[in-house]
Chain A
Amino acid sequence: GAVVSQHPSWVICKSGTSVKIECRSLDFQATTMFWYRQFPKQSLMLMATSNEGSKATYEQGVEKDKFLINHASLTLSTLTVTSAHPEDSSFYICSAGTGPLNEQFFGPGTRLTVL
């Protein structure tokens, strides 16, 4: 149990386009979802926390207009990278939990390359 999926697993896009990444909890209802990015050989960096039905809470330094997060249901959250630039190329990982004190389950990640 407790499976989290992400789609797509990798994406290559041109500079200036927008890319949407989906995160789904397959066998449980996730009240909270987290979005992270990870640069090569570095640790995960939290971008934002989203709760179903409410606006996401962004970490300091993360542009909310650039990284749009929607958590429309208890099993789906989406991250849209708007007007992507090469510096947005990274590994994006989501995690989902059933509450702030409960275990987080991580998705397999999405590798974004912006040309």
Chain B
Amino acid sequence: KNEVEQSPQNLTAQEGEFITINCSYSVGISALHWLQQHPGGGIVSLFMLSSGKKKHGRLIATINIQEKHSSLHITASHPRDSAVYICAVRRGTDKLIFGTGTRLQVFP
């Protein structure tokens, strides 16, 4: 079993829909990252969380440390949101452990 599990693996949505991507982990962490990887390959860091909730534009990330779970929400989704969303956790000062990613396609 992977230490970081994401669901769903693939997700399709109509433009305007509210989207949720989930991340569960099985180890103690110091921080959790949400990353976005576009088809060209470049990776953008969306959020780094250690507790609570963060919001940036249409993106919201939450984390529940007790339940070892985080969610990434996209409100009013748009085709340009189509990408692979990756959850990664850090244990102490150690390296990042990556989830396998969620492939999102938003259709007009």
Chain A interface residues (CB < 8 Å from chain B): 34, 38, 42-44, 46, 49, 59, 91, 93, 95, 100-101, 103-109, 111
Contacts and interface: CB of A to CB of B under 8 A. Distances in A.
A58 to B, nearest CB: 12
23 contacts: A42-B100, A43-B98, A43-B99, A43-B100, A44-B43, A44-B86, A44-B98, A46-B95, A59-B95, A93-B41, A93-B43, A101-B31, A101-B90, A101-B93, A103-B33, A103-B45, A104-B45, A106-B35, A106-B42, A106-B43, A108-B42, A108-B43, A109-B42
What range describes how many residues of B lie at the interface?
20 to 34
Contacts of B96: 34, 46, 104
A108 B48 contact: no
Given A43-B98, A43-B99, A44-B98, A100 B93 contact: yes
B42 A111 contact: no
Contacts of A43: 86, 98-101
